[in-house]
Structure 1
Amino acid sequence: MKEIIKINLDNEMDLILAHKRCMKIAEMCGMPSSFQTRFSTAVSEIARCSIAKGKDSVLVIGIHITKATQKEILAIITDSIDLKSCNPEAFNYASKISGNIEYSFKGNQSTTRISQQVLSPGLLSETKIKSLIDYFKFEPPLSPYDEIRKKNIELIALSEKLIESENRYRKLANTIPILICEVNDRNKVLLYNESLLHYLKVPLQTFERKSLTVFIHPEDMEVILEGWEKAKANQSSFSGEIRINNSGTYIWHLVTMIPNKSEDGSFNSWLVYFVDINAQKLVVETLKDNTQLKMTQRELESANSKLVFKNKELEQFAYIASHDLQEPLRKIMIMISRASENLSEEQKKDYYFDRIALSATRLSDLITDVLNYSRIDNNKHFFGEVDLNDIIAEILGDLSMIIEEKSALITIEPLPQVLGLNTQLRQLFYNLVNNSLKFNTTVPSVTISATLVPEDNNPLVLSGDYDIISIADNGIGIESQYSNRIFNMFQRLHERDQYGGNGIGLALCQRIIENHNGIINFTSTPGEGTIFWIYLPKQQ
């Protein structure tokens, strides 16, 4: 249906308007006077019932095109109550007059349709129908009430558009990712958008220290308060960077205060915006960190160059120690041996030949140990598969005399293959097994075993899979007070006349393990024995 006119049925004046409008439309559609009267009277009868009994009644009159060659005038009256049950006599009368009336009541709404066929539908073209709509749009008022009614309709339409526009802007303000509020010069928050409410979790009532402390970072409080006072005093804008608490995390925001002008140009409030700039701040900080990192990297490169130079010096020192120190020492030992050939044992004691020879031998061992320690370096070697079973077999061969001498009991469980340097691992296990035999006051008992520990069950929270090799003995043990010192260079826990050595063995072991990206530690009970634990990664 093409709507021509719409009338709210509120009082008797609306009933008069409805009757006149129906008569005029029927007349303009070329209907005879009798048909005009019948149609208008039927509509008026139902309209009177709506005004008397109904609620929120509306009459719409229009042209309904049923077929290309068939058109009708159609009046539709809607109401929120069941009109027919309220006044069935009115509907019976209207039906007798018109003969074309339909009624329905569904979903708490009644609909009454009254129609009248147009006798010359060909004359009622689209242009004619448009002229009907324009006629009633610009028709002069029929009465003062009609004029007021039209003005009210225009005001209602304008109000609806205003409400629709306001809802659109409110929806926009509530959905944009910017926190907005309006504050007057007495620090009272007049309104705020939903984004600000959801962000702060509590309504912002005043723009003062007490309220702002709840969500502004303490270090940024003076920034926003001083900016706010300056904006009020100068009636100017202000921008600054602050941090806002969001569920325990402070997020950087750009706060902007803009004076809100009224139509006469005066200022009575400010719009305050909080825009999230945390990502930009992170980028800036990252760039600063990168600059600092580059400076630190250059410092590290410089320190590394110096370290390389020092290592070169140490290599030269090791060479000097290997040749220039060992060579005169060997000559001293040879001359002592030759000088003592023609002396009696008594004379040897008088001239301290035994002590001199022992000291020279000890010095030679010390130089050898220091050289071994300094040469632990994997930069010039490539790791390969090393079978620890073969390593232990060679070590036991080297220590066979002391094993037989002390009647030691050696238990070896199957050991794994590991990635490493054969010579260094041989030195490692030689030192540890030799210590187990040496630092023992009873018949030595040494047990060597191994187990594979996966990454998800690693007791030291190491990454990757590790082989753990344990060397357990029943020796004298280690006092807990020495637990942090036994891997230090030249660290001796006993007098030299009790147990031999230079205090370098365990330091050498730790250096070898570190060179293999592993870990060495121990557990010990004085008088009962010690267990050394060696962690070697499956992959280097």
Structure 2
Amino acid sequence: MKEIIKINLDNEMDLILAHKRCMKIAEMCGMPSSFQTRFSTAVSEVARCAIAKGKDSLLVLGINIVKVTKKEIVAIIIDAEDLKTCSPEAFNYASKISGQIEYKYFKNQSTTRISQPVLSPGLLSEAKIKGFIDYFKFEPPLSPYDEIRKKNIELIALSEKLTESENKYKQLANTIPVLICVMNERSNVLLVNESLEHYLELPLLIFDRKSLNNFVHPDDIDGLLEGWNRAKKNRIDYIGEARIKNKSNYIWHLVSITPNKTEDGSFNSWLVYFVDINAQKMIVETLKDNTELKAIQRELEGANSKLRFKNKELEQFAYIASHDLQEPLRKIMIMLSRAGEHLSEDEKKKYYFDRITLAAGRLSNLITDVLNYSRIENKEQYFAEVDLNEVISEVLNDLSLVIEEKNAVINVSLMPKVLGLDTQLRQLFYNLINNALKFNAGQPIVKVSFGDVPADDNLVTAVENYEVISIADNGIGMDNKYSDRIFDMFQRLHERDQYGGNGIGLALCRRIIENHNGMINFSSKPGEGTIFWIYLPKKNFKV
């Protein structure tokens, strides 16, 4: 139970306050006036007994959530005396008014529980219940005179409110998208809501074969009449299905016939509900003959299996091709070096030795990058805890010569620990920090931060499940129109003679991030630097 308010029951003023609080909670839960009065009066009767004959009495008012579709207002009166023994008349009267009262006396403490079901549980959200608590916390105190005066006004207007409530329920019955009618024992229709009236487009006066022929499918009439006669004979509910005609089409409906009881328990009428279930019926029928869809699903599963096998083959091919190409290329570069030892500078220029050597070097770098890309695979590896502080420290040590040469300033904040593959994460940060140093026309300033989240980044919906790391630089930047290209293989945004590289580094970064079930994004402007945002799942978050 979610507690709303507590009231100590010491004197008559507390009794007035208890009555007021009960009425207010019932009102805020959408209770009709008659239910408000019944609940509040039942609570007041027991509270009056506690004030007169009890000891250390306490009233707790709250909301009990039995389940999503069932919620109730609850009043619990705790006392050190056996209240029911002290005043059985008060409890009998409270039971008569409420009908939902429970009492127990155990270990010198009595507990009286009075409840009232909420008529519209779906409207009573967690936020609304919290609003109740805030309301009573800040509500100003009321004088006894004002309280009594308000109660007198409510009692005088009770009959008017009951009439108004009846009109509201009638209006509700007319507006809900459920077809409703009321009939008596002789099958005479007493009342039809507007939804049914508009649906049939003709009056429904009697629930018999002749009338049903006008709007019920011929194959469903016998079953519907048999169910009605059986329900009428045995005083039980009937639930069945029938196709109801709407203009020229028959629509499946769930038909419920329920006895309507009076206060003394006798039957005076029957409620008939028609609920549209056509969509559900179509789904059921579709699933019954869904062999073609199942065949397509099996075909897709087979195709996916073949695709995974082909991807594995391609990865193996890329690895073997890159590895086998390195050896002859290494021999070519050695031969070029030895041949060049016996040539003059003019002869080297004549035979394009410098260009051949540079081209061979670029080819070697390209093969190395492709080889690294093909190795980024984590299916047969196990994630372990990786301290990113150690990873970045090692990366900066590897790049120390470049940092010293460019007089770069590197600022790194305290990094988190994540689950991942140490080697791949080192490769990730090496490529991104190296790019920040490379693509810079002046003195590089690189900032590696943890915890900052871009305000306009819609890449991640639940950012609280990720460790967010940014790498910002003051380099040459790039246009955001290239955002769809920079993570692709062999994509270069600058001429080779301006900045080196083969256009594989960022593709490698994206693949590493995907292997770690994370995401990567960037923001940049030409001449204003670039910020890369890395999202790695937290250790306690399973994707």
TM-score, with length taken from structure 1: 0.51
- 8 Å CA contact retained: 1:178, 1:275: yes
Given the alignment of the two structures, is residue 537 of structure 1 paired with residue 537 of structure 2, yes or no? Answer: yes
Q: How far is 1:252 from its partner?
A: 3.6
1:439-474 Cα distance to aligned partner (Å, 9 max, x none): 001100000010187xxx997313762110000100
Shift of 1:309: 2.4
Aligned twin of 1:516: 516
CA distance in structure 2 between the aligned counterparts of 1:378 and 1:355, rounded to whole angstroms: 39
Offset at residue 336 of structure 1 (A): 1.0
> 1:6-43, CA deviations, whole angstroms, 9 ceiling, x for partnerless residues?
xxxxxxxxxxxxxxxxxxxxxxxxxxxxxxxxxxxxxx
Percent identity over the alignment is: 66
Question: Whole-Å Cα distance in 1 between the matches of residues 482 and 401 of structure 2?
Answer: 30
SS in 2 for 1:307: helix
Q: Within 2, Cα distance between the matches of 1:419 and 1:426?
A: 13
CA RMSD of the aligned region, Å?
3.8
Aligned to 1:523, the other structure's residue is in SS state strand
CA displacement, residues 74-132 of structure 1 (integer Å, 9 cap, x when unaligned): xxxxxxxxxxxxxxxxxxxxxxxxxxxxxxxxxxxxxxxxxxxxxxxxxxxxxxxxxxx
Determine the structure 2 residue equivalent to 1:206: 202
* Offset, 1:305: 2.0
Query: Which residue of 1 is the match for residue 472 of structure 2?
Result: 472
**How many residues are treated as equivalent by the alignment?**
309
1:197 aligns with 2:193: yes
Offset of residue 371 of structure 1: 1.8
The Cα of 1:492 is off from its aligned counterpart by 0.5
Residue deviations 1:278-310, cap 9 Å, x none? 586166157359756643441232012211321
| SS in structure 2 of the partner of residue 495 of structure 1 | coil
Match of 2:451, SS state, is strand
- Is this contact kept in 1: 2:243–2:251, CA < 8 A? no
Amino acid at match of 2:193: L
Counterparts of 2:415 and 2:507, CA distance in 1: 24
Q: How does 1:383-462 map to 2 (within 5 A)?
A: 383-451=383-451, 460-462=460-462
Q: 1:404 to 1:517 in 2, by over 3 A?
A: same
Q: Which residue of 2 aligns with 1:346?
A: 346
Alpha-carbon distance in structure 2 between the residues aligned to 1:289 and 1:345: 81
| Inter-partner Cα distance in structure 1 for 2:289 and 2:469 | 43
SS in 1 for 2:520: strand
Structure 1 unaligned residues grouped into runs of 5+: 1-176, 183-189, 209-223, 232-238, 256-271
Q: Does the 8 A contact of 1:388 with 1:417 survive in 2?
A: yes
Q: What amino acid sits opposite 2:329 in the alignment?
A: L
State the SS of the aligned residue for 2:522. strand
Change (3 A) 1:451 1:336: same
- Alpha-carbon distance in 2 for matches of 1:280, 1:449: 53
Q: 8 Å contact 2:444–2:474 — kept in the other structure?
A: yes
Task: Specify the code of the residue in structure 1 equivalent to 2:326.
Answer: Q
Q: Distance in 1 between the 2:246 and 2:480 partners?
A: 52
Cα distance, 1:367 vs structure 2: 1.2
Q: After superposition, what is the alpha-carbon deviation per residue over 1:401-460, rounded to whole angstroms, capped at 9, x for unaligned? A: 11111100000110011111111111110010000000001100000010187xxx9973
Letter of the 1:324 counterpart: D
> Does the CA contact (< 8 Å) of 1:520 and 1:533 recur in 2?
yes
**8 Å CA contact 2:468, 2:533 repeated in 1:** yes
Letter in 2 for 1:206: L
CA contact under 8 A between 1:252 and 1:278: conserved in structure 2?
A: yes
Structure 1 pair 242–535 and aligned structure 2 pair: CA distance change class (3 A): farther
- Larger-Rg structure: 1
Secondary structure of the residue aligned to 2:448 is strand
In structure 2, relative to structure 1, the CA distance for the partners of 1:284 and 1:432 (3 Å cut) is same
Distance 1:463 1:191 in 2: 62
Structure 1 CA distance for aligned equivalents of residues 427 and 280 of structure 2? 56
- 1:482 is displaced (CA, Å) by 1.3
| Secondary structure class of the residue paired with 1:415 | coil
Structural mapping, 1:467-506, within 5 Å: 467-506=467-506
Tell me what 2:115 maps to.
none
CA–CA separation in structure 1 for the residues paired with 2:371 and 2:348: 32
- Structure 2 distance, partners of 1:448, 1:461, is 23
Match in the other structure for 1:333: 333
* CA distance in structure 2 between the aligned counterparts of 1:399 and 1:537, rounded to whole angstroms: 27
Residue 519 of structure 1 contacts residue 535 of structure 1 at CA under 8 Å; is this kept in 2?
Answer: yes
Alpha-carbon deviation of 1:179?
Answer: 5.8
Q: Is the 8 A contact 1:244 1:252 kept in 2?
A: no
The 1:517–1:240 alpha-carbon spacing in structure 2 relative to 1, beyond 3 Å, is same
Whole-angstrom distance in 2 between the partners of 1:243 and 1:529: 68
Q: Aligned equivalents of 2:351 and 2:459: distance in 1?
A: 58
Q: Judging changes above 3 Å, is the alpha-carbon distance between structure 1 residues 311 and 240 closer, same or farther for their aligned structure 2 residues?
A: same
CA drift at 1:319: 3.6
The question of whether the paired residues in 2 share the 8 Å contact of 1:406 and 1:444 is answered with: yes
The 5 Å alignment of 1:173-322 reads 192=189, 194=191, 197=193, 199-200=195-196, 206=202, 241=243, 252-253=252-253, 277-278=277-278, 281=281, 284=284, 287-288=287-288, 294-322=294-322
User: CA deviation digits over 1:167-195, x for unaligned, max 9?
Assistant: xxxxxxxxxx986799xxxxxxx97564x
Letter in 1 for 2:351: Y
The residue identity in structure 1 corresponding to 2:314 is L
Offset, 1:370 = 1.3
CA distance in structure 1 between the aligned counterparts of 2:481 and 2:277, rounded to whole angstroms: 55
Aligned amino acid, residue 337 of structure 2: S
| Aligned residue type for 1:402 | V
Paired residue type of 1:432: L
The 2-side partners of 1:452 and 1:295 are apart by 49
The aligned amino acid for 1:315 is: E
Which consecutive unaligned segments of at least 5 residues does structure 2 have?
Answer: 1-177, 205-213, 222-240, 256-271
Mapped to 1, the partners of 2:345 and 2:476 lie a distance apart of: 36
Q: 1:323 to 1:477 in 2, by over 3 A?
A: closer
Report the CA distance shift for 1:479/1:426 in structure 2 as closer, same or farther (over 3 A): same
Matched residues in 1 for 2:428 and 2:438: separation?
A: 15
The one-letter code sitting in structure 2 at the alignment partner of 1:502 is N
Alignment partners' CA distance in 1, 2:180 and 2:288: 29
Q: 1:345 to 1:192 in 2, by over 3 A?
A: farther
